[in-house]
């Protein structure tokens, strides 16, 4: 169960019920998933999310504090295989994915992000971009990718929880509208 519920305004009904999710602005129409690693809803994996243990890289042995906002929830949902003796338990932060129908690639969720990578994804003509929250000490990451299947959809995956509040307050109605793509069935 997610101790991390997200509520969003329904673009069609207008029913807004999206109080405390950090991703409250600029939502087009979308769906949210929780850590749908490797889930294939259509034959191909949307995102090949893997579970892994972050290990310090390269010459730099950086101290990576264990910390991380660990969810008092479960990481169980994802370390599916195993549970054997002597296993190194893989700690994996839950990831949350959004499907947003928008023309805009860069969705402004109120946080400041620094791009740290971009990768071509297999079976996808659009690259996936990797961002990290620039707030000091906040290690939230997100990746953004446009679906080949439907170019109108942008898939955003968040990992981690912000340890701070939104610093940018640009939530004027016009601003939100400008980024929102209202979807009509015809």
Partner DNA sequence: CGTTTTTGACCTGCGC
Partner DNA sequence: GCGCAGGTCAAAAACG
- The contact set with DNA (CB under 7 A) reads 45, 47-55, 57-60, 62, 112-122, 128, 130-131, 134, 141, 143
Query: Strand ranges (DSSP E) for the chain?
Result: 29-34, 95-101, 113-120, 127-133, 141-146, 153-159
Long-range contacts of 139-145 (CB under 8 A, 24+ apart): 139/68, 140/111, 142/113, 143/47, 144/105, 144/106, 144/107, 145/47, 145/121
We find the least distance from the C-beta atom of residue 53 to DNA, in angstroms, to be 5
9/38 with CB nearer DNA: 38
116/183 with CB nearer DNA: 116
We find the least distance from the C-beta atom of residue 167 to DNA, in angstroms, to be 11
We find the least distance from the C-beta atom of residue 13 to DNA, in angstroms, to be 33
Closest residue by Cα to residue 97 from 147, 42, 167: 147
52/174 with CB nearer DNA: 52
We find the least distance from the C-beta atom of residue 116 to DNA, in angstroms, to be 5
34/51 with CB nearer DNA: 51
Dmax (CA) of the chain: 57
């Amino acid at each position: 169960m997610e101790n991390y519920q997200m509520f969003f305004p329904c673009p069609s009904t207008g029913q807004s019920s999206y109080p405390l999710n950090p991703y409250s602005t600029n939502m087009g129409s979308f769906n949210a998933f929780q850590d749908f690693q490797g889930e294939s809803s259509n034959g191909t994996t949307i995102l090949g999310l893997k579970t892994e243990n972050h290990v310090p890289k390269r010459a730099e042995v950086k101290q990576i504090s264990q910390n991380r906002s660990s969810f008092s929830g479960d990481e169980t949902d994802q370390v599916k295989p195993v549970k054997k003796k002597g296993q190194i338990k893989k700690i994996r932060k839950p990831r949350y994915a959004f499907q947003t129908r928008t023309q805009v690639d860069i969705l402004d969720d109120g946080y400041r992000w620094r791009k740290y990578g971009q990768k071509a994804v297999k079976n996808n003509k659009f690259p996936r971009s990797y961002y990290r929250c620039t707030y000091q000490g906040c290690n939230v990451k997100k990746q953004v990718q446009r679906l080949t299947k439907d170019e109108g959809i942008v898939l955003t995956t968040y990992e981690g929880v912000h340890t701070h509040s939104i610093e940018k307050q640009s939530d004027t109605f016009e601003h939100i509208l400008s980024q929102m793509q209202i979807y009509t069935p015809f």
